[in-house]
Structure 1
Amino acid sequence: GGFLSFRPNIPKRMLLDGAHTVESHFALVNYQMKQIRTALAMASLLKRTLVMPPLWCRLDRMWFGHPGVMEGTMTRQPFLCPMDHVFEVHVMLKDLPEEEFGPRIDFREYTFLENPSLPKQVKESFLEVRLCNEHSTRCSTANGTNKHRALLLPRNSTEQMLLDVFSSYKNIKIIHFSSMVDGFRGFADAAVETQFRNRVKRYTGIWCCVEFREIGHIYYDMYWDDKPGWKPHPPQNREEDHPPWA
């Protein structure tokens, strides 16, 4: 058991450069989503509860067409947005059949580790993991770790490598990654990968809504990066109006 957390990596330009548009909003959210997807896979593999990261948005989500934020309000952009602006939290909590969706992945909200009621022995049982270039001579998990030094882990680690490395840290309550970018190469077994994809594809919701459109919402897609030229566009018609996995 135990927890897995990570520090999101977001380039400043994604937060601040250019206008706050549907395109810049989705670029920012998708960039974070890819890291969360890797973290969900690692949490599933290591049988840990994922502490979700804070989520940054450039546009608010309403239930009607709007120019990005509610007019007349003082919403500053970008802003920390609620998890359910992007994720279908009720689906993440659902008991989906394991044969189709693989094992359940437990999660906590991003403030969990700062919660004053979290027991001291959990907070203090902590391992920091830093990703490093696999070809670097200094990048070796054999370096081990001590109380004050982070564990070095090669980027794009295989499933077996992760299982081997973290088998020594089963009793550590919190494993914290300093980055999740290229942290995991993917599941070795194609069937397990398919189950994981089936599960997490259903985790994302919609952004709402583009103004002056009959169908103004846009579906988030957990695997947007598998689709070359993916663009955040609302469905053109009722036939197209379904989640990307449906």
Structure 2
Amino acid sequence: MKKIILTAAVMAATLAATTASAQSSLLDEVQSGSNYKNTNFNAQVYQIDDDYDTVAAFTANVQVNDALRMSAQLDTEGYMEVSAGYGFAFNNGIYLEPYANYGKTDFLDIYSLGAFSGLAITEKLMMFADVSHQWRNGRDIGDVYDASSSNQRELLTAIGASYDLLDSLNASYTFHYDNVIEDGGMKNESDSRTSHEINLTYSGFGRFEPYVQYTTGEYRVSEGAQVSNEESVEFGFNYRF
């Protein structure tokens, strides 16, 4: 049970800091005591548009103590993000983590407040949900760019399940439903959108955990990108220090 709760903590960090929902099984050392400190490094490679531009993103998640998590992300498009969360683990197998994010591009400041929750159903099966409120504020760049046209508020929700197919192979499914609450004038995005993610993570290499993720629907490949309606396959890995 403790292993699944700690797995939920890493999933919360991943959902808060990156679009990938690759997970770490956290393996044996997390069950050896009540004090848990871990640094998790994540790298992704994905395509951001129809021109097949390849983007790499790098995320570091630091579990400062049993409850406090901090993370930072940078991608090759110039998107940067920092995140912090505070987790609560309950005896009935529930994990809850409120979190806050700040991200920036050349044209946007992105603020998010949200909460992630995971529920251990069995030793192999976990259900999870994530809800966040996001503010996307445009930046004025002289006379070139009208910042107000890109101001938006969005409510982002996700629900899914994670299952250990084997001791070293985890599969997860995530359903996303996002709703545009306020639109600053950009009419190329619908008021609501849905997307689906399927993720496979292999943990048989010890600290190095490769994964592959398939996404379809209306979604942002990264938080700094425009909404896309294309299928994508993402490759990446987690590395735990």
TM-score range, shorter chain: under 0.3
TM-score by length of 2: 0.27
| More relative contact order, 1 or 2 (CA 8 Å, 6+ apart) | 1
More strand by share: 2
Between Structure 1 and Structure 2, whose CA radius of gyration is higher?
1
TM-score by length of 1: 0.26
More helix by share: 1
